C-alpha cells in the first residue's frame, strides 16, 4: 500500500522545526529506509504518519487517503507501527502481547495460525511464551514488538530504529526478518541509524539531515552520486556489495 508524504513540516512548540519540507514515497511492496543521525527528525516523521503529531504543513496519504481524514483508521487500513521504545506491555506475558496484537480480529482460526507463523519466525517467543515481557532482553523485546505488529497482518509496516542498542547477532537477525517480511509482500518504511545495513537491504533510501531536511534519496548508486550525501554519510554507498552486484 503506497505511502506518499509531500512537503511535510512538523514543529514542536514555537521554536523546534523537527521536519522541514520532507517529501517521501513508499510504493506498494517496497522496503524504503530513512537514515540520519540523532535528532535528524526521523521519529517525528513516523509519528506524523501515525497521526501522533500534527504537521504544520504538507500532506501524508496512505493508499490514496489522507491520514488526517476523519474517517482514516490506521488499524482498519492495516498500518502497523513498531515505535523506538517498542511499545510492548511489560506487565503482560509474551503470549498475551501477541494476542493483543490481534485483539480487533474476529477470525480466531486465522489468528491462531498467525501466532504460529510468528513463533516460527521468532523461536525465542515460543520458548518464553508464558514469561512476563519485562523479563525479556532488549533483543527479545524487539522480536516481540515486531511479531505483535505482524499479528495485524499489516499492509504497511513502520519500523523505528528496530536494531538500536542490540547485539550484532540480533541486529543480523532483525535485518534478516525485515528482508523476509519484504519478500512476503509487506510494504515497509524502516527508520535506522545503521546506514550501511539499511542501504544494503532497502530498495531505496532517503537521507535526512537535522533539522529535518531530506538531502538525498535513491539506490546505493544514486546516493553515491551525490556529493552532499557522501559527505554526510562519510562513506560511498556505491562501495556496498549490493550496488556492485
Ligand atoms: P533519534 O535518532 O535520536 O531518535 P530522530 O532523527 O528520530 O532522532 P526526532 O526524535 O524526530 O529525531 O527529533 C527531531 C528534533 O525534534 C530533535 O531536535 C528533537 O530534540 C526534537 N523533538 C523531538 N520530540 C520532541 C518533543 N516532543 N518536543 C520538543 N522537541 C522534540
- Taking only the tens place, the pLDDT of each residue in 48-71 is 999 999 999 999 999 999 999 988
Average pLDDT, the chain: 94
Q: Could you tell me the CA-to-CA distances from 232 to 12, 38, 50, 124 in Å, in that order?
A: 25, 13, 28, 38
| pLDDT of res. 243 | 43
| pLDDT of res. 31 | 98
Q: Does domain 3-78+154-244 have CATH number 3.40.50.300?
A: yes
Ligand 1: residue whose CA is nearest its atom 31:
12
Geometric angle at alpha carbon 66, from 76 and 86, rounded to 5° = 55
Ligand 1: residue whose CA is nearest its atom 18:
39
- Judged by DSSP in three states, 167 sits in coil
Q: How would residue 106 be classed by pLDDT, with cut points 50, 70 and 90?
A: confident
- Residue 40 in contact with ligand 1 by CB distance below 6 A: yes
Ligand 1: residue whose CA is nearest its atom 1:
38
| pLDDT of res. 72 | 93
Q: What percent of the chain clears pLDDT 90, i.e. is strictly above it?
A: 86
Peptide bond into 211 cis (omega under 30): yes
Mutational test site, ligand 1, from 20, 44, 84, 214, max ligand atoms within 8 Å of CB: 44
- Residue 38 in contact with ligand 1 by CB distance below 6 A: yes
**Ligand 1 atom nearest to 193, measured from its CA:** 2
Stretch 95-106: mean pLDDT, rounded?
91
Task: Supply the DSSP string of 181-205, one letter for each residue.
Answer: HHHTT-EEEEEES-HHHHHHH-SEE
**81-95, 142-156, 196-210, 224-238: least confident range:** 224-238
- Residue 47 in contact with ligand 1 by CB distance below 6 A: no
Cα–ligand 1 centroid distance for 27 (angstroms): 26
- Taking only the tens place, the pLDDT of each residue in 125-183 is 999 999 999 999 999 999 999 999 999 999 999 999 999 999 999 999 999 999 999 99
R_g of the chain, CA atoms, integer Å: 18
- Domain extent listing, the chain: 3-78+154-244
Cβ within 8 Å of residue 114, ≥6 positions away? 102, 150, 151, 153
Q: Is the pLDDT of residue 242 over 70?
A: no
- Judged by DSSP in three states, 207 sits in strand
| pLDDT of res. 197 | 94
**Ligand 1 atom nearest to 208, measured from its CA:** 6
**Ligand 1 atom nearest to 212, measured from its CA:** 14
Q: How would residue 237 be classed by pLDDT, with cut points 50, 70 and 90?
A: confident
Amino acid at each position: 500500500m503506497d505511502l506518499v508524504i509531500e512537503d511535510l513540516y512538523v514543529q514542536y512548540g514555537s521554536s523546534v522545526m523537527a521536519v522541514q519540507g520532507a517529501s517521501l514515497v513508499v510504493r506498494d511492496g517496497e522496503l524504503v529506509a530513512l537514515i540520519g543521525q540523532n535528532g535528524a527528525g526521523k521519529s517525528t516523521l513516523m509519528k506524523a504518519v501515525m497521526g501522533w503529531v500534527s504537521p504544520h504543513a504538507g500532506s501524508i496519504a496512505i493508499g490514496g487517503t489522507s491520514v488526517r481524514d476523519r474517517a482514516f483508521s490506521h488499524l482498519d487500513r492495516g498500518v502497523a507501527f513498531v515505535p523506538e521504545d517498542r511499545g510492548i506491555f511489560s506487565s503482560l506475558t509474551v503470549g498475551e502481547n501477541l494476542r493483543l496484537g490481534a485483539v480487533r480480529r474476529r477470525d480466531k482460526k486465522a489468528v491462531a495460525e498467525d501466532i504460529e507463523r510468528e513463533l516460527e519466525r521468532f523461536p525465542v517467543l515460543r520458548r518464553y511464551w508464558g514469561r512476563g515481557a519485562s523479563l525479556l532482553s532488549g533483543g527479545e523485546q524487539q522480536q516481540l514488538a515486531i511479531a505483535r505488529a505482524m499479528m495485524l497482518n499489516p499492509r504497511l509496516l513502520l519500523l523505528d530504529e528496530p536494531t538500536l542498542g542490540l547485539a550484532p547477532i540480533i541486529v543480523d537477525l532483525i535485518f534478516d526478518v525485515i528482508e523476509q517480511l519484504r519478500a512476503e509482500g509487506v510494504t515497509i518504511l524502516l527508520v535506522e541509524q545503521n546506514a550501511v545495513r539499511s542501504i544494503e537491504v532497502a530498495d531505496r533510501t532517503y537521507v535526512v539531515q537535522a533539522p529535518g531536511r531530506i538531502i538525498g534519496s535513491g539506490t546505493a548508486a544514486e546516493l553515491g552520486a551525490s556529493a552532499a550525501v557522501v559527505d554526510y554519510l562519510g562513506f560511498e554507498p556505491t562501495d556496498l556489495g549490493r550496488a556492485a552486484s
